[in-house]
A and B are shown apart, each in its own frame.
Chain A
Amino acid sequence: MSDAAVAEKLEEERRLVAEAQAGNLDAMRPILEAYAAPLYATVILPRLGDAATAEDVLRDTFTTAIEKIEQFRWTGKSIYVWLRQIAVNKVYDVHRRSKRSVQLADAMAKEMPQTTQPEAAADAMLIAAEEQVQNRERIGHAMRALSERYRTAIQLRLIDELPREECARRMNVTTGTFDVVLFRAVRAFRKHFGAES
């Protein structure tokens, strides 16, 4: 997207935010609908892993944003940065409430800044793309600690999204054996991801 297009988009966003701050909350609708996908796909779901909870968090993020829109101060950057920060904090709340993911919550607390980074890019889609790259790096980092066999099983099944039978064929094992290898691989990944992310 060209600089002029980004500037035009930001201006439209600024106008909608001002309208919402003046009391017309419906002006938030196009902003929220536009940023739902990147928030869900790059911020919330990769940190939660549960689609239903991720949708709840997305809705709560929007609710909080609408309620507190008067508190948002325009700094020339997309409101996406602000929305992303709300979403991250909501995700952290979910982890904190869920005892089974205390390890992940602690990891997130160390990893995630509690305030919006001033050096964040102005354009929402650019931020989302950078975040997607970071997510891949986090996954890759955890994957590197796994054995070759486990890495291959995860790669074939969860990243390349091949059927079980095809994965088994490529790994030269029976489907039942592949199921066990994948089961153990994901368990090892989970253990390592929570510990080092």
Chain B
Amino acid sequence: MSKRDDFEKDDGPATPGEQARAEAFGRLVDGLLAGDALPPAMDSEDRALVEAATVVMASSRAIEPAPERTRRLVDQALEAAILRRSGGAPQATDSGEHRAESPMTLLPPEDPNERSVTDVTTRRRRRSDQVARVLPWAVASLAAAAAIILFIVRPPQKERTADETAEVAPRAEVPLDVINTSRPADPLVGRIGKADRGKATERIDLLYADRMAGYRDLEFRRALPGERAP
């Protein structure tokens, strides 16, 4: 039996699953023909089929990238090659080219007036790479030198004079108005013994009564003739 017959055997009724996949594939082919990008996530078998379809299409007509896309690819390639040459990225593997390796150096153009933009970019990038390598060491060295100089040339500490060492006289206390003073609770409550730990309500009542007495005292003084509330 020939291979052609083998393929004919597959041409039976489709299952619902196959029908759905076939429709999805049909839509993908629509996208291919319209030049759309493939969806990023695809079943590997579907992707293989789309690739096969693209291979067929590419054999029948020249599918080319747009000119602006081509220019961008060339720019990226030039940039990558220059970066690699200047040590900014690893060298390309030899997989694409099987000749013997030779040491590659970027030769300066003979006529400086004919220097290209790319060449100027290379030099500038190489210079910035050198600066980037040296800069951290330069900053660290400068900081260390500055610290040493400051240590050496700092002014000697002066002896304190008698006036400076004299104790500052305590300031005279200004008596506060009664209204601004609190009624200290500690002498009122005293030390709370273990046995009295649970009597918080009594202590609160005591403090409340004390505060009320203070309030009444103030109010009483205000009520007397010739007395002013503070």
Contacts and interface: CB of A to CB of B under 8 A. Distances in A.
A136 B80 CA distance: 34
A59 B76 contact: yes
Contacts of B8: 147
Contacts of B53: 49, 158, 186
A25 B18 contact: no
A70 to B, nearest CB: 6
Interface stretch (B103-111, B125-133, B169-177, B217-225): B103-111
| Interface size, B (range) | 35 or more
Given A67-B91, A186-B25, A193 B19 contact: no
A87 B95 CA distance: 10
B64 A159 contact: no
20 contacts: A23-B108, A24-B114, A24-B118, A25-B81, A25-B118, A60-B92, A62-B81, A64-B92, A66-B77, A71-B97, A139-B56, A145-B4, A147-B7, A180-B14, A182-B26, A183-B49, A184-B7, A186-B49, A188-B7, A190-B52
Interface of B: 3-4, 7-8, 10-11, 14, 18-19, 21-23, 25-26, 29-30, 33, 37-38, 44, 47-60, 62-65, 69-71, 73-74, 76-78, 80-82, 84-85, 91-92, 95-102, 104, 106-110, 114-119, 122
Interface of A: 22-29, 32-33, 36-37, 40-42, 45-52, 55, 58-68, 70-71, 85-87, 89-90, 93, 100-101, 114-115, 132, 135-136, 138-139, 145-147, 149-150, 154, 157-159, 161, 164, 175-184, 186-190, 192-193
